[in-house]
Structure 1
Amino acid sequence: MSGIIGKKIGMTSVYGADGRNVACTVIEAGPCVVTQVKKEDTDGYSAVQLGYGERKEKNTPKALQGHFKKAQTTPKQHVAEFREYPGEALFVDDMSLGQEVKIADIFVEGDFVDVAGTSKGKGFQGVVKRHGFGGVGQATHGQHNRQRAPGSIGGASYPARVFPGMRMAGRTGGERVKNTNLRVLKLIPEKNLLLVSGSIPGAKNSIVIIEK
């Protein structure tokens, strides 16, 4: 397998082998269940679909109930596909429906992983918070309330319009974000916990995808 589904627990810090205190994120990763195996000859590409988190059967659509029953597992709250690309280590042929996947089957300490999730939504924000504008920087010379204003956004008679993509105020956050090359600092298999260096996108208890 090349990845697993997990849940962000929060942040802490651990001491590395060199004695330095390293900030890290705690992820509860798995155990996941193989809910579908896709192969080149039947689906056009090779991939494994994993399911994570329990879901009440009464809240699961009939089509999904049948999908999970085929894998001989209970309904899952979240599913994600992990594709097998040419040149990578082959894993699809080794997977079967209903098989349980744990972090110890995929990761070892020292691995580098990519973690994808949905960033915290921050609503409608100004240009200073959204794009890092510096603002005017002083309140003298008649500036009044212009410290965090965007300034001019275009020409007058030419081009007589605002160019697309202009950095302005607007809704920010709540987007798909991937943090890459995070080192696996520690594995706690008995509790399904994975500690990775640095921060990852999303709020506490949000769902993330961890890939090698």
Structure 2
Amino acid sequence: MLHLMLPLLLLLPQVPTAPGPEPATTQPTPAYDEGPLVVEVSGIREMRLKMFGGPEQVQNDSDLRVQYRIKGERLRELSRFGNLILTDFTDDTGTQLLDPSIYTEQEKKFTRVNTMGTERLRQTGLLLVSRVKMANRAARQVKSIKGTVKLIFGTTLEKVTVINPGQFYGKNIADARLETIGIQARIVPFDEIEQPIPTDRAIVVQVRAHE
């Protein structure tokens, strides 16, 4: 018996390859330390709380919180900054949502050292938050926001050593270098401080431009 072995060629239909996903376009990271110094609203959170039942009185925690971003090239020189103090927050129904009594005199004057560094400020800007009363449901937009924040800029660092600062308790610190650079520093007595601090471990210094 004769066996024949013939080559067999199969022609399969070509299935077009599905195109893959387009590579994601890399968006440039925004830099918030460029351009003029401006303030913008970067976020809003509204929370309404309604309690049902029970004779106990529950504090109303409904509120409206707004986050602001300060941006601009001068943030590279930011040395200290204070609290955001609003003077007006009105919705489009004409309702004033701000209670100005929420700010103490100490909060209005307080400033803190900028510990964030230039890189973080470049990535996020300076973020500040305000809290106001809940708007009526008839309101559709915010009509007016006004306020102030203290920003202190500086590019040079002055080191001043004060020996035994306790001797200036309640008085201005007498120092020739402070006088030369136009700085007035005062040790604040504890009875003038609104918020209690550990008196055995801290002192409060009020610093301002020399009058």
TM-score range, shorter chain: under 0.3
Give the TM-score normalised by the residue count of structure 1. Answer: 0.24
Q: Which has the larger radius of gyration?
A: 2
Structure with greater proportional strand content: 1
